[in-house]
């Protein structure tokens, strides 16, 4: 990395990949092996929500084995008391990273849908932006084996976020992304209470709100081969309601700002 923007992480920046898990025992070993292969200098934090299938215990075993082989602890595990949602898992991971002085924090799924081989391209753009999104819906991005209804849902959610909020991001719902840790520290993480699609939209909006730049890098998104999606009707409804509320608030602020300018003019 090169420090192309003020405060950008430089060469040798410490990177933490946060991987939330809930019943990902079958896919986690491959995900961690791929990260070790493609980003060997990055550390990994598995945030496990007391998975009934024993994912947390497996993560501990994999971390210990990896530490023995490397001679250093690169994989870490954060155990939580129960299933509390994707958004809170990432916020817990962000806090863990900030407390330990990491420079870049990555969001990445454990199910294989986010390819570790794409991560170096995201990290290469961190000097240019405060948030780098691995995007399915920009030129060069694509999806593999994803059902048509999921593609339509994802595209529709992004179009709605653009219409309602004016959010200038093609794939604001994407969950494969890299943040500057310094920017995360400015985002009032205590007030983040959203999940799923909504969480990703919320975080992109917050980065833009503090003046951060967001760039999108094309990736190949691969439908999970094992386990089942955590997407639910409640996550979709939450996103619809919150984006509508955020959009209405944003439009009201725009109208008020225009009215103030007109009065001054």
Residue 2 has what pLDDT?
Answer: 38
Strand partners, 132: 178, 215
**Is 152 in a helix, a strand, or coil?**
helix
Residue 75 has what pLDDT?
Answer: 98
Number of C-beta neighbours around residue 237 at 10 A: 11
56/245: higher pLDDT: 56
pLDDT tens for 62-96 read: 999 999 999 999 999 999 998 888 999 999 999 99
* Paired tokens of 189: 């993480």
pLDDT at residue 194 tops 90: no
Tell which residue, 85, 243, 204, 230, has the closest CA to residue 150. Answer: 230
**What is the rounded distance in angstroms from the CA atom of residue 97 to the CA atom of residue 105?**
7
What average pLDDT does range 40-61 have in this prediction?
Answer: 97
Domains recognised in the chain with CATH numbers: 15-264 (3.90.550.10)
pLDDT tens for 141-187 read: 999 999 998 899 899 999 999 999 999 999 999 999 999 999 999 99
The upper half-sphere exposure of residue 173, i.e. CA atoms within 13 Å in the direction of its Cβ, equals 25
Residue 246 has what pLDDT?
Answer: 74
Residue 6 has what pLDDT?
Answer: 63
> Terminal CA-to-CA distance of the chain, rounded, Å?
46
Residue 3 has what pLDDT?
Answer: 44
pLDDT confidence band for 222 (50 / 70 / 90): very high
Number of C-beta neighbours around residue 114 at 10 A: 26
3-state secondary structure 104-117: EEEECCCCCCCCHH
Tell how strand 15-21 and strand 43-48 pair up: parallel
The mean predicted confidence, pLDDT, of the chain is 90
Residue 29 has what pLDDT?
Answer: 97
pLDDT confidence band for 105 (50 / 70 / 90): very high
Tell which residue, 249, 129, 246, 252, has the closest CA to residue 194. Answer: 246
Tell which residue, 120, 220, 204, 210, has the closest CA to residue 170. Answer: 204
What average pLDDT does range 135-143 have in this prediction?
Answer: 96
pLDDT at residue 227 tops 60: no
Report CA Rg, the chain.
19
* Paired tokens of 172: 């604001």
Residue 229 has what pLDDT?
Answer: 58
Query: Do residues 139 and 58 touch, judged by C-beta distance below 8 A?
Result: no
Residue 237 has what pLDDT?
Answer: 77
Residue 253 has what pLDDT?
Answer: 75
């Amino acid at each position: 990395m090169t420090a192309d923007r003020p405060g950008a992480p430089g060469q040798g920046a410490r990177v933490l990949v946060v991987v939330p898990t809930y019943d990902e025992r079958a896919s986690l070993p491959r995900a961690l092996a791929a990260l070790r292969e493609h980003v060997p200098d990055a550390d990994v934090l598995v945030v496990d929500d007391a998975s009934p299938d024993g994912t947390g215990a497996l993560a501990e075993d994999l971390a210990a084995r990896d530490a023995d082989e490397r001679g250093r602890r690169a994989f870490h595990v954060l155990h939580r008391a129960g299933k509390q949602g994707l958004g809170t898992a990432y916020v817990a991971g962000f806090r863990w990273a900030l407390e330990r002085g990491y420079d870049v924090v990555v969001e990445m799924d454990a199910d294989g849908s986010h390819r570790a081989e794409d991560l170096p391209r995201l990290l290469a753009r961190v000097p240019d932006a405060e948030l780098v999104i691995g995007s399915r819906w920009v030129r060069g991005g694509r999806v593999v084996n994803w059902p048509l209804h999921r593609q339509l849902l994802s595209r529709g959610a992004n179009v709605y976020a653009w219409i309602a909020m004016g959010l200038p991001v093609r794939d604001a719902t994407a969950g494969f992304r890299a943040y500057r840790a310094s920017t995360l520290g400015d985002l009032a993480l205590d007030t983040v209470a959203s999940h799923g699609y909504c969480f990703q939209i919320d975080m992109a909006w917050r980065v833009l709100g503090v003046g951060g730049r967001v760039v999108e890098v094309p990736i190949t998104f691969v439908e999970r081969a094992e386990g089942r999606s955590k997407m639910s009707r409640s996550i979709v409804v939450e996103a619809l309601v919150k984006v509508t509320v955020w959009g209405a608030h944003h439009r009201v602020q725009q109208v008020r700002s225009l009215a103030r300018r007109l009065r001054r003019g």
